[in-house]
């Protein structure tokens, strides 16, 4: 009986000891986890990518103004026909030339007020303004600007003076966004690991992460509002896409 009682006492004592050890371990882990919440590092990861235009278009626009609507409509039609004839003669397919809708502005008030010698005067203006434009695809993307400049001079020499500009189409940002985000996250982790090594710590899991606005720079794009905009490429047919991700890591 005494041996059984002794065995029970030993088992009870061991159970209490094990319980106290486990209580101490989990208490330590809980306190450590709580304290580790304040040990964080915030880093930024940058990713940049140059993207090239997939196509280029030359846009020609011109306008006429006057008080006789039918007269300026005829002027517009005549010039449009001459421009199309010139383009087709110089190797552009008629089916590839898009004739955009004309825009008619009716300024019913035929006078506008301006200041002259310190007093207001009424000046006669044309009632109607008609704007017409043509668009066609440029074959070689990289030479589109040169082609536009040459075409502009040729039209002036043939009394077909017009406003010319080049527009480019680029790949959809959604198609490259995953690669940019992955690269910026990777670069942020590299920066975080360097900081952790300098602090004699180990980089832990991500606490929070935020993707900054994507900044697009180029001659034919408008930059998003970003604290660190991308540097504009020199080539007009190129754009630079930039994203900066801010990531908060735990330090262990």
Distance CA 243, CA 230 (A): 9
CATH number for 186: 3.30.110.170
Spatial distance between the Cα atoms of 70 and 184, rounded to a whole number of angstroms: 60
The Cβ of residue 142 has, within 10 Å, a number of other Cβ atoms equal to: 14
Last residue of some domain: 104, 138, 169?
169
Q: Are residues 203 and 160 in the same domain?
A: no
Domain boundary among 169, 197, 225: 169
User: Which residue matches tokens 């006429």?
Assistant: 64
Q: Are residues 129 and 177 in the same domain?
A: no
pLDDT digits (tens, 9 = 90+) for 79-118: 999 999 999 999 999 999 999 999 999 988 777 777 777 7
Closest to 221 measured CA to CA, from 181, 144, 168: 168
> Same structural domain for residues 161 and 177?
no
Q: How far is CA 189 from CA 192, 214, 219, 241, in A?
A: 5, 19, 33, 21
**Distance separating alpha carbons of residues 197 and 30, to the nearest angstrom:** 25
**What CA–CA distance (Å, rounded) separates 145 from 137?**
12
Q: Do residues 170 and 211 make contact, with C-beta atoms less than 8 angstroms apart?
A: no
> One digit per residue, pLDDT tens: the chain, 252 residues?
555 555 555 565 556 666 555 555 545 554 455 445 568 888 888 898 899 999 999 999 999 999 999 999 999 999 999 999 999 999 999 999 999 999 999 988 777 777 777 777 777 888 999 999 999 999 899 999 999 999 999 999 999 999 999 999 998 888 888 898 889 989 988 888 888 888 888 888 888 888 777 888 876 554 444 445 567 788 899 989 888 889 998 888
Q: Where among 138, 169, 200 does a domain terminate? A: 169
Tell me, yes or no, whether 62 and 163 share the same domain.
Answer: yes
Q: Which two tokens stand for residue 140?
A: 């070689």
Count of domains for the chain: 3
What do you get for the CA distance between the two ends of the chain, in Å?
A: 53
65 and 157 fall within a common domain = yes
- Smallest CA-to-CA distance from 39 within 192, 188, 189 is with 192
Determine the pLDDT at residue 207.
86
Q: Residues 122, 123, 127, 132: is their CA dihedral positive or negative?
A: negative
148 Cβ neighbours under 8 A, 6+ residues apart: 58, 138, 164, 165, 166
Write out the residue range of the structural domain in which residue 79 sits. Answer: 55-169
**128 in the same domain as 90:** yes
- Please tell me whether residues 160 and 64 are part of one structural domain: yes
Q: Is the pTM of this model over 0.75?
A: no
């Amino acid at each position: 009986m005494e041996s059984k009682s002794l065995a029970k006492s030993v088992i009870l004592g061991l159970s209490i000891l094990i319980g106290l050890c486990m209580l101490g371990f989990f208490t330590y882990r809980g306190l450590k986890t709580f304290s580790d919440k304040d040990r964080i590092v915030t880093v930024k990861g940058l990713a940049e990518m140059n993207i090239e235009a997939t196509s280029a278009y030359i846009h020609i626009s011109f306008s006429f103004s006057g008080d006789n609507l039918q007269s300026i409509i005829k002027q517009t039609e005549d010039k449009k026909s001459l421009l199309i004839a010139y383009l087709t003669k110089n190797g552009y397919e008629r089916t590839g030339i898009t004739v955009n809708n004309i825009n008619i502005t009716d300024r019913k008030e035929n006078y506008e007020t301006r200041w002259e010698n310190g007093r207001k005067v009424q000046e006669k203006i044309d009632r109607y303004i008609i704007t017409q434009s043509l668009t066609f695809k440029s074959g070689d993307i990289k030479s589109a600007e040169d082609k536009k400049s040459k075409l502009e001079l040729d039209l002036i020499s043939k009394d077909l003076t017009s406003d010319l500009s080049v527009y480019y189409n680029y790949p959809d940002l959604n198609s490259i966004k995953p690669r940019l985000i992955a690269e910026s996250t990777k670069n942020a982790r590299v920066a975080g690991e360097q900081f952790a090594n300098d602090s004699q710590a180990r980089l832990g899991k991500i606490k929070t992460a935020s993707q900054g606005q994507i900044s697009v720079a180029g001659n034919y794009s408008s930059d998003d509002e970003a604290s660190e905009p991308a540097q504009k490429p020199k080539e007009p047919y190129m754009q630079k896409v930039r994203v900066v991700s801010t990531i908060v890591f735990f330090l262990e």
